[in-house]
Structure 1
């Protein structure tokens, strides 16, 4: 079994791109879960057993080196997403607020791209589409697409996580009298005022 235990960098890095053996590197496709694990056992695209032991999150185009000096290029398996597209729709502020809170309170991961909100499909696309359809203002459309899971990584153009969706742009939220109870692990959020700024900016068309 090949064991890739050294992270060299991205394939576009000059030091990696200039290696004479880069063109002959093995390829491995990792799921979004596997790329985040410190140890993974999988197979290269040509069927060889491969252990990945680099202790870091991997991205499309990362290059690893095995114990024997062979190179392995990482590719990420694409994921299904639901795309909510404002397009040319004239969305009022009220509708934007309602849409932002309705979708944000679903605790889905979020990425915003050129006036579109992208959500990874957690179950089935049809069920997710039906859930979203109830909250769409007139003129706002949805479609299915496959993208790299890296689109939802920290440092993306605008992204949020489940639990408390957030972006790293203008987003802020307050937790009011946020308190956790003991016992059965129940907890209350008091006057929890949760802003979904990324979604609201998208719905108003600020991202276009």
Structure 2
């Protein structure tokens, strides 16, 4: 039988009462892919192999630490699998770079449907293809001095991505 979870209680990283409740009660835990964040209906299996269905608004993106209550009053905690990020650092760029180059870079990344966000003078790009493919796309734009790095997302940064749709 599938446990259905559609009552959102909060996030253990942002709500101390929910965090305490999770510590007091036994919880089901489910690990999801980043691609599941925006889905309205998610079918998965907990770490113990129990089938679960999460029903939520597509407008709300799941975050690691989100807690739902199932129809049978059990708690379900969501863990999102980490993904590697490509980080473009603009802090070392020459001020003489034409803004049109940076606008074009944004257009190219969006046109390839890469989820991106900008924080603290850096562009974070979710890797949805191999590193070398994304690096080639970026290098083809020819932005002199652009630094390419890689990092794992940190929950404290709470990075929210936008993606390009048609």
Compute the TM-score of the two structures, normalised by the length of structure 1.
0.63
Provide the residue aligned with 1:117 in structure 2: 123
Deviations 1:119-164 (A, max 9, x none): 22232221110111133433321123333796234xxxxxx54259
Aligned partners of 1:18 and 1:148: how far apart in 2? 22
Residue 68, structure 1, aligned to residue 72, structure 2:
yes
Contact 1:125 1:144 (C-alpha < 8 Å) held by counterparts? no
Aligned partners of 1:86 and 1:101: how far apart in 2? 15
Contact 2:101 2:143 (C-alpha < 8 Å) held by counterparts? no
Higher relative contact order (CA 8 A, sep 6+): 2
Quote the offset at 1:31 in angstroms.
1.9
Compute the TM-score of the two structures, normalised by the length of structure 2.
0.76
Residue 104, structure 1, aligned to residue 107, structure 2:
yes
Q: 1:9 to 1:102 in 2, by over 3 A?
A: closer
Residue 152, structure 1, aligned to residue 160, structure 2:
yes
The alignment of Structure 1 onto Structure 2 pairs a total of residues equal to: 157
Q: 1:143 to 1:14 in 2, by over 3 A?
A: closer
Runs of 5+ consecutive residues of structure 2 not aligned to the other structure: none
Q: 1:136 to 1:86 in 2, by over 3 A?
A: farther
